[in-house]
Chain A
Amino acid sequence: MEQLSNLRHTLHHVIRALIMGGIAFYIIRLVQTDHLTLYISPRMTIYVKLAAMGLYLIAAVQLYEAIRVWNGKPGEPACDCQHPSSGSLWRSIGVYSLFLVPLLTGFATPDTTIGSAMAGKKGINLSASSAVNRKTPSAAQPSVSPEGSSAADHSSASPPSPKPTGLDALFPSDQFSESYANYGKKIYGQPEIVVTEKSYMEILTTLDMFLDQFVGKKLTISGFVYRDDTMKTDRFVLGRFAVQCCTADAMPYGMMVESADPSQYANDTWLKITGTLGKMKYKGNEIMSLKLEKAVKIKPAVDPYVYPDIDFGL
């Protein structure tokens, strides 16, 4: 009886050590293959790496305990916190397979990214500034809260300033849209606007916020192709997923593209497109669109996701 219980204890410790070590090893492998950012945004990866180290440590202690118990030493401290051995055999098998099955699946299947199928479920964001700025009253109405108005007085762009001229008139801003307006002024004079990977969302937001100023400009953007039933046949969306913390919170951002012959670009194809900015009506809203002039098939980006640009507007 004593023997059997020792064996069971040892087994429990060994299995736990294997699972925890396995999870840690899985993370290390993701780091080594540079695939960790397929799941977690770069600013969170440090915590996941620390967690892997912690798991290794706990796994090592578990192995040590297993050896101690195997040698007949009283391993477990005699407390009533969940003994690993409590519960039936089947229950233990059930619990451990809950960990083992996903872990083995993780090792056995290739790391993939989410693509146009997921974008369809999440709903692609074609009017990037709507998340930042509701075009209707909120931009016009000053601020409701006293905190807001006092903060506005401190900022440079306070409402009662003398009549703006030149660029300032084209890019009116309040304290919140200031960074976008400044960026708008910066790219306004450029012959061609490039939507970079680093500030993908921010540039799309700027374009959308001051769309009237940018209509007719040349623009280059890359991303994956997405289309659904609600779009006319000569259109598709080129977009990227923006990730805050992990892939679960990814939001697709994109640009509607008009093309004479879009059928040659299947969903999930990666393209680099140059075209002319315009606007169109889609589902009752005015959105920005791009008239395709040149499209090049490209390899999917090494890191398929884009992230908020913390340096934007500094």
Chain B
Amino acid sequence: MPQSVYRWTLNLITAGCLVFLYLIFTNRDLSILSSLSTFQPEQWQSVKTVFTSIFLEALPFILLGVVVSSALQLFVSDNVLRRIIPNHPIPGVLLACLLGVILPVCECGMIPIVRSLIRKGMPAYVGITYILAAPILNPVTYAATYLAFRTQHEMAFYRMGLAFAVAAAVGWVLYFFLKQDPLKSASHSPHDHDHGHSHSHEHHHHGGNKILQLFTHASDEFFEMGKYLMIGSFLTAVIQTFVSRAELVSMGGGQIGSHLLMMGFAYVISLCSTSDAFIAASFSGTFSKGPLLSFLVLGPMLDFKNTLMMLAVFRTRFVVKLSVLIVVLVLAASVLFEKTVLHS
């Protein structure tokens, strides 16, 4: 039990830190808290509306994710998977980057699937690359970006290219530096069995109805991921309702500043990768292409909602390191890109 308490406090502290970071960056002292207390009922209705809409939009993808992940666990043997996935890091990472073209699952559904794949023996760096690349490098997101930037179609190519570069770079960095299993161990309470997952499925599904097991398994995972979706959607809704976009924009000063600002914005609003291009396009009067690309590449890879969901599956330290790595690489890639390609 103390372990679970520890985990929850940790998550709460993380959330609290994020809020305070925000407060510090906006120089708002605690005025936002006082604005929370003097709330108007319409604003809480907006919170409810936005919360419900985010939840409903994510729901189909999460369900698909947990059902596919359960099916993978029950029906695909480890050997099959090992044979399919290349062992060498170069084809492995490249394949993971492009897998999204065939298997476009939105980021919410991806995390349980990748966990199953990693448990089945997929190298973790390949799995993470897939999580990062697939929400952007797929036909649906490409079409949405193309549509959103009607007069700047090159943005869609740039977005795909940068996302590919960043995801592949993260994959290779992880290949060299990730020595530990990034997954949370499945057994966290004393009465759980301590055998590894990989062989546990070979023997115990004696008879029984596999379809029933599939559903039970899916429901377990649904509740496991769903609680993070609930918290994430709620906080996102609160941020969207109480934080003014104009104030946010006015904070971005300098070149790096505007990149960081758009990245921070992408992180907090936690939109799906299919609709964020339209939001980015609405900023094209305010920001140049570089910061917009930062927004478009970072958002699907890393946002508030999906950080919480990653914490459900991966070790906290790993999630923190991965997030820092993504932020640094996205910033470096888009600043570099802006200096070289966009300014030539």
Contact = CB atoms under 8 A, between A and B. Distances in A.
Interface of A: 16, 20, 23, 27, 36, 38-40, 44, 47-48, 50-51, 54-55, 57-58, 61-62, 64-65, 76-84, 86-88, 91, 94-95, 98-99, 102, 105-106, 109, 111-115, 117-118, 120-123, 125, 127, 130-134, 138-139, 143-145, 147-148, 174, 176-177, 244-249, 251, 285, 308
A27 B276 contact: no
B275 interface: yes
A167 to B, nearest CB: 21
A20 B274 CA distance: 26
B215 A61 contact: yes
Given A77-B208, A98-B231, A247-B49, A147 B157 contact: yes
Interface in B268-287: 269, 271-272, 274-276, 278-279, 281-282, 284-285
Interface stretch (B17-25, B188-196, B252-260): B188-196
A80 B192 contact: yes
A287 B219 CA distance: 52
A88 B52 CA distance: 29
A16 B51 CA distance: 21
Contact of B150 (A95, A105, A118, A133): A133
Given A98-B230, A125-B282, A58 B204 contact: no
B31 interface: no
A184 B138 CA distance: 34
B4 A87 contact: yes
Contacts of A139: 151
Contact of A47 (B60, B208, B221): B60
A3 B200 CA distance: 26
Contacts of A112: 42, 45-46, 48-49
B180 interface: no
A48 B56 contact: yes
Contacts of A285: 285
Contact of A39 (B42, B53, B151, B208): B53
B227 A114 contact: no
B57 A246 contact: yes
Contact of B53 (A40, A84, A138, A251): A40
A102 B49 contact: no
Interface string B231-242: 100101100111
Nearest to B280: A131
A39 B52 contact: yes
A19 B264 CA distance: 34
B34 to A, nearest CB: 17
Contacts of A65: 212, 216
Interface string B191-228: 11101010011001100100011011111111110110
Interface stretch (B124-132, B165-173, B243-251, B318-326): B243-251
B56 A132 contact: no
Interface in B103-151: 144, 147-148, 150-151
A114 B226 contact: no
Nearest to A51: B60
27 contacts: A23-B59, A39-B53, A51-B59, A57-B215, A64-B212, A79-B201, A79-B204, A80-B200, A83-B192, A86-B192, A87-B189, A88-B1, A106-B48, A112-B42, A112-B45, A125-B282, A131-B285, A138-B151, A176-B153, A245-B275, A246-B275, A247-B50, A248-B236, A248-B240, A248-B269, A248-B271, A249-B276
Contacts of B223: 16, 84, 95, 99
Contacts of A36: 56
Given A133-B150, A249-B275, 13 more contacts: A51-B60, A65-B216, A77-B205, A80-B186, A86-B192, A91-B4, A112-B48, A127-B285, A130-B285, A246-B53, A246-B56, A249-B276, A251-B278
A82 B220 contact: yes
Contact of B227 (A38, A84, A95, A131): A95
Contacts, number: 215
A269 to B, nearest CB: 14
Nearest to B201: A79
A244 B60 contact: no
Interface of B: 1, 4, 8, 40, 42-43, 45-46, 48-57, 59-61, 63, 67, 73, 144, 147-148, 150-154, 157, 186-189, 191-193, 195, 197, 200-201, 204-205, 208, 212-213, 215-224, 226-227, 230-231, 234, 236-237, 240-246, 249, 269, 271-272, 274-276, 278-279, 281-282, 284-285
B53 A109 contact: no
Those 9 A-B pairs whose CB atoms lie nearest each other, nearest first = A247-B53, A61-B215, A47-B60, A39-B53, A51-B60, A246-B53, A246-B57, A245-B275, A130-B285
A121 B151 contact: no
A125 to B, nearest CB: 6
A285 B285 CA distance: 11
Nearest to B188: A86
Nearest to B185: A80
Contacts of B227: 95, 98-99
Contact of A55 (B50, B63, B275): B63
B342 to A, nearest CB: 9
A79 B219 contact: no
A180 B314 CA distance: 48
